[in-house]
Amino acid sequence: MRFLARTGLSLASALLASQLVYAAPKSFRGCSHKLKESIAGPPHGWTPVAAAPKDHVIDLKIALPQPNFGTLEKHLWEVSDPSHTRYGAHLSKEEVDELMSPHPESLSIVDEWLASHGFDESQLVRSPAKDWVTIRVPVVVAEEMLGTTYHIYEHSASGDSIVRTTSYSLPEVLHDHIDLVQPTTMFARFKPMKSSLHWSTLTPASPSTSTGTITGPAGNQVDASCNETVTVTCLKQLYNSVDYNTTATNGNQIGLTGYLGQYANYDDLEQFYELEVPDAYGSNFTFVSVNGGQNDQDPADAGVEANLDTQFGFGLTYPTPGTFWSTAGEPPFIPDSLEANDTNEPYSYWLSYILDQTDIPQAISTSYGDDEQTVPYSYASRVCNGFAALGARGISIMFSSGDGGVGDGDADPATQECYSNDGTNRTIFIPGFPASCPYVTAVGGTVNIPETAVFFSGGGFSDYFARPSYQDSAVEGYLEKLVPGTYEGLYNASGRGYPDVAAQAYNFLIVYQGQTGYVAGTSCASPTFTAFVSLLNDARINAGKSSLGFLNPFIYSGGYAGLNDITEGNNPGCGTEGFNATIGWDPGTYCVPDPAHRQN
Phi then psi for residue 11, to 5 deg, are: -60, -45
Q: Per residue in 285-321, is it b (16+ CB within 10 Å) or e — as a string?
A: bebbebbebeeeeeeeebbbbbbbbbbbbbbbbbebb
Amino acid at 302: A
Q: What pLDDT shows up at residue 408?
A: 79
For the chain, domain boundaries: 2-66+101-185, 203-407+433-474+497-574
Asked whether the beta carbons of 75 and 457 are under 8 A apart, the reply is: no
Q: What is the pLDDT of residues 186-225, one digit of tens each?
A: 988 766 654 433 444 566 666 667 789 998 877 889 999 9
Residue 120 known to be catalytic: no
Q: Establish whether 586 is an annotated binding residue.
A: yes
- 591 CB contacts (<8 Å, ≥6 apart)? 501, 502, 555, 560, 563, 564, 565, 566
Q: What pLDDT shows up at residue 336?
A: 46
Residue 208 known to be catalytic: no
Q: Of the residues 223, 268, 309, 403, which is catalytic?
A: 309
Q: Of the residues 101, 241, 378, 523, which is catalytic?
A: 523
Q: What pLDDT shows up at residue 211?
A: 82
pTM: predicted TM-score of the whole model, two decimal places: 0.91
Q: What pLDDT shows up at residue 202?
A: 63
Q: What is the pLDDT of residues 250-306, one digit of tens each?
A: 999 999 999 877 899 999 999 999 999 999 999 999 999 998 888 999 999 999 999
CA proximity to 177, closest of 122, 112, 115: 112
Q: What pLDDT shows up at residue 416?
A: 86
Neighbour tally for 186: CB within 10 Å? 21
- 61 CB contacts (<8 Å, ≥6 apart)? 132, 133, 134, 181, 182, 183, 345, 348
Q: Establish whether 39 is an annotated binding residue.
A: no
CA proximity to 340, closest of 133, 53, 49, 123: 53
Q: What pLDDT shows up at residue 20?
A: 39
The CATH number assigned to the domain with range 203-407+433-474+497-574 reads: 3.40.50.200
Q: What is the pLDDT of residues 416-453, one digit of tens each?
A: 899 998 888 899 999 999 999 999 999 999 999 999 99
CA 522 to chain centre: 12
Q: Establish whether 336 is an annotated binding residue.
A: no
Helix (H, G, I), strand (E, B) or coil at 10: coil
Q: Of the residues 305, 370, 372, 403, which is catalytic?
A: 305
Across-strand partners of 151? 51, 164
Q: Establish whether 371 is an annotated binding residue.
A: no
Q: Where are the strands (E) in 213-352, listed by range?
A: 213-215, 221-223, 254-258, 286-290, 322-327
Amino acid at 459: G
Q: What pLDDT shows up at residue 338?
A: 40
Q: What pLDDT shows up at residue 43?
A: 84
Residue 457 known to be catalytic: no
Q: Which residues of the chain fall below pLDDT 70?
A: 1-30, 190-208, 329-345, 594-600
Whole-angstrom distance, CA of residue 150 vs CA of residue 148: 7
